[in-house]
Amino acid sequence: MSGGIVRTKPVALLLVLVLASSAFAYKRDKKDKKKDSKPEAKLVDSGSFGVFVNDQRVATETFNIKQLPDGSVTTSDIKIEGSNQSQHSELQLSPAGTLIRYDWKESGGSEKGESSVTPSDQFIVQHIKADDKYSEQPYLMPVSTAILDDYFFSQRELLLWRYLGSGCVIKPSEKGCPLEPAKYGFVIPRQRTSGMATVSYIGKETVMLHGAAKELNKFGLSSDFGDWLLYLDENNKLVRVLVPGEATEVIRDLP
């Protein structure tokens, strides 16, 4: 996939840069706030994604992405339709977008477990609890490695924001910016594995979304685990995901 020109609203791009780059910062008003006061979290994005297989809804992810003075926190809950199975995750990132901590747990049904991923020196390690047994899975990967766990599509949104934040610099004389494909290391904690992914901007595409035609920015996410198509709206929010060949589509629910 080749690079392209992405056109985005300045406000939307600012949101991307605030979350995904080392320029991520928070200014406190010292006149109004005391040093020991608890800083307020700013809600950057929230909502839910419906997961459809062969046009049938099989799961729902509900998520919140919040900005804090010392980074960001993304919490997600996944519920499987027609069962009591659920998953919960919390991803904490530094202002530079590097990993602080990732926690995941699964409950209901026959499968139960939990794990966390944390930095260890210059690399990261996964701490796993399954059947009351503890183990560790080290990854010789830096703390800048992305977390892309199974079924958590909000984490794919974070990766796209990171891609835009690092590669999209709008010049005063231009309405958009060129984007070239970029590679990112990632970990899938639920599978206890890792890999490299290529993110690329494909271009504009008009799709039917909730019964209406909408022009979206289309991106490709390719790795040894398959190829995905991801769509951002004019506010750089993930609204659609396609997994070609698997009859799987993910749609952001209406507010």
Q: Quick check: 34 pLDDT over 90?
A: no
Q: Can you read off the two tokens belonging to residue 225? A: 């685990």
Q: Quick check: 45 pLDDT over 70?
A: yes
Whole-structure pTM value: 0.85
By percentage, how much of the chain surpasses pLDDT 70?
Answer: 79
* More reliable by pLDDT, 216 or 19: 216
Q: What is the rounded average pLDDT of the residues 38-67?
A: 94
Residue with the two structure tokens 């809600």? 43
